[in-house]
Chain A
Amino acid sequence: MALALPFRRNQESRSQARAILDHEAKRRRVIVTPEGVPLQFLLASRGARAAALFIDLALITGAIVGLTLILITIAQKVGINLDRSEETAAGRAIQAIVVLWFVAMFLFRNAWFLYFELGPRGATPGKRMTGIRVAARSGSAGGARLTTEAVIARNLVRDIELFMPLIFFFSAWADGGDTDMASWAGLAWFLIFVLFPFFNRDRLRCGDIIAGTWVVEAPKRKLEQALSVAGAARGHSQVTGATYRFGDADLAVYGEFELQVLERVLRENRAEAMQDVAATICRKIDWVAGSGDERAFLEAYYAQLRARLEMGMRFGKRRADKHSGGN
């Protein structure tokens, strides 16, 4: 229903259109490729980034627990013997397992993000699931190529943002020190870094600043069917066999914004919304269409409106929405 609103509420539609555009404009950044094509990126929302981080942390924890269990099982098979000074084959095997564990812990902590973000997707499993990725920021220097060093830098800083307060707290706890103090200090530290993305325009965390990166949405879209070559757009309605032809005056009432809303309504293909929109258009252009054939009516109107507007574009006349003049 919300989609049909611009057709219905004349007064509010304009401000509403603006509001929708502005909402995204805040997150929109443009990078000009070396070919001179401006590409638009949407900065990832903070919620998506937090979700990605939680997923990654859960996966890392799972991997650590799993690996530890596997190593313990192996150690038990070997015959567990915590007296490491024993100069036997079993003792050496246990030693090797402990070394392996240390190395694996180090890698999980530091290399997980590194490995995945250097891949062709530029995203850890968590980021992939939330549909975001790491990209190079377009600085005033212009070059926006994500480099290996940048990924290393942004992930080394993660260490102080995330793991430091935890370690701080646990070491205080293990030393039997003042855990209250430690946890408050750790919390304050943690908050500074967690809230960092809220205090700059590009939603950078400290690691992003140092590495010259940002996190953007990585949309994937399927190529949809062209609406203007199918069904009644080409002439006859499949249902009634009627042909809808609109005059110039009938098409002159709407602009690009309404065309795109119409496109969305047609793609979603919900009978209720289509009836609503068809009725509104009919009222606006004083047209009487039989009910039951709304889709064909809208398809025809869409194709002809688009043809008219695109013709205008070719002559350098664009019309943003129904309120803007210049037919």
Chain B
Amino acid sequence: MSRVVAVHSFRGGTGKSNTTANVAVMAARRGLRVGVVDTDIQSPGIHVLFGIDQATIGRTLNDHLWGRCAITEAAVDVTAGLDPTLEGRVFLVPSSIDAGDIARVMHDGYDVALLHEGIRTLVDELRLDLLLLDTHPGLNEETLLSIAVSDTVVVVLRPDQQDYEGTSVTVSVARRLQVPHMLLVVNKTPAVFDHADVEERVRAAYDCEVAAVLPHSDDLMAYSSQGVFSLSRPDHPVAAMYDALAARIVG
């Protein structure tokens, strides 16, 4: 059964895109066909982690939402560039990084039905087991659309006071949108924190399942935007955590 998962965080800098990319790759290592859609139309960025740059971006999600192309035309198979030995596949639908395109979508918005339809088309035509939506932080209309069309929303937060309240708002809003499943991922947890304790406190505070408590990792921070960390360091403990998170999300 395929699953559409929105990965979201209330504030920027939580490691949302990195989490999305690592989960995508670990799921592909498990043999799954995975799609990633960059729905962060205002500040797209996840394409960089998959080795795609401005010169290589062709059709984008924007083109689909403006009726210029089918969504499958915007999907790039990035598997070979990531790791040709991956058992599964990773497809990316990037967002346009053209400033005019960004301004236009901000001004005009787009139709929720088109996004939903695009997602269904992607899942069917690319025979996806998992589709991840990398969202824009906060709860603007576009992000609400992404959450609304998902089967699962994964909320990434850091264990700090500023994130707690925003996460609470996100959780409440997602519940009102009747998203069937919701998971929390605590990221960038300092090593001195007792991870089990953090998990329990977060679970209790939001009455929501905690899928992972990921540590703050200097190795990951140093690597960050060069690519997908779990692929470059498959033996690193953090890679094992992403793998477990992928397994949990896939269910």
**Co-complex (A, B):** no
